[in-house]
Amino acid sequence: MASTLFISYRRNNGQFYAQLLHALLEKRKYNVFLDKESLHQGRFDEQIFHHIEKCDYFLLLLTPGAFDRIYNDSDWMRMEIEHAFKCQKKIIPIMDEIFIYPNFLPEPLNVLPNYQSILTNTANPDQLNFVVQQIEKYIPASISPIKFMLLGMVSVFVLAGVGFSVQNTPKVEEPPVSVEINANRSAIYENHKTIIGDHNYIYGNGNIIKGDNNKIYGTGNQIYGKYNEMYNKNNQVMSGKYNTFCKQ
């Protein structure tokens, strides 16, 4: 079965992007709840909480200013997130490159900055395919009913004692996967890689960045070089000079 996804967003500046994301995910055969598209007759709050409870993944769309009202106990986005935590849902933040978490967040939202986020530009719908590809990395591939039936038949044959010949084949060593990316003057959306180059726009998290004059929008990166600009204070300069933290 396809996974069920819930999209939480701020209506005043995230509705259009959320609707596009909803349409694209449905084309990929996911079951997606978006209040603007999926609500039926009845109480609004009961339906929202019900769909959070039955979803597999909670997609949190963090557009600029999305947390401006997050300190209000009756703020709907806050209540949706709190209910997702209460139900122990898998939360995937989709964060605009200029969104900044407030210095203080109420519990249990205060752990959100530690979550691996998908960075994008929500003003640029051309990046939606990339966002969907990143979401799918978090979601295990589903088994179709036919494949599930075939697997069941194989299990029955094995239990019935049907003789299958199993041969031990030598294990082939796979070549090590390179974790280095060499690029200059490029937009890079990778996480947990070693990025070597200059004049790049880097949107990923947890990277080791070796180079000069890069603009770094992700979090948890380690910077080696000079004249790099960082737009999130959760990055760390390991060596180099003339590196600066910039406001969005």
How confident is the model over 85-89, as a mean pLDDT?
95
User: Is pLDDT at 173 greater than 50 in this prediction?
Assistant: no
Task: Give the lowest-confidence range in 27-36, 67-76, 134-143.
Answer: 134-143
Of the pLDDT bands very low, low, confident and very high (cuts 50, 70, 90), residue 165 is very low
Mean pLDDT, residues 87-101 taken together:
94
Written as one letter, the residue type at 102 is: P
Q: Residue 123: its pLDDT value, please?
A: 87
The per-residue pLDDT for 248 is 61
Confidence band, pLDDT 50/70/90 cuts, at residue 24: very high
Report pLDDT for 177. 41
Q: Grade residue 172 by pLDDT with cuts at 50, 70 and 90.
A: very low
pLDDT at 193 over 80: yes
pLDDT of residue 182: 87
Q: Is the pLDDT of residue 241 over 90?
A: no
Confidence label for 37 from pLDDT (cuts 50, 70 and 90): low
Handedness of CA 11, 136, 90, 47 (dihedral sign): positive
3-state helix, strand, coil in the chain (%, to 5): 30, 20, 50
Q: What is the pLDDT of residue 57?
A: 96
Sign of the Cα pseudo-torsion (12, 94, 60, 103, in order): negative
DSSP run (H or E) holding 181: strand 180-182
| Numbered ranges of CATH 3.40.50.10140 in the chain | 4-138
User: Tokens 């019935």 correspond to what residue?
Assistant: 160
- pLDDT for 80: 95
To the question of pTM greater than 0.75 for the whole model, the response is no
The architecture CATH gives domain 4-138: 3-Layer(aba) Sandwich (3.40)
Q: Is the pLDDT of residue 56 over 90?
A: yes
DSSP string, 5-54: EEEE--HHHHHHHHHHHHHHHHHTT-EEE-HHHH--SS-HHHHHHHHHHH
For the chain, the average pLDDT equals: 82
- Helix 44-54 / helix 76-86 crossing angle, nearest 10 deg: 40
Q: Is pLDDT of 166 > 60?
A: no
Letter string b/e over residues 36-73, b meaning 16 or more CB atoms within 10 A of that residue's CB:
eeeeeeeeeeebbbebbeebbbbbbbbbbebbeebeee
Checking if the pLDDT of 1 tops 90, the result is no
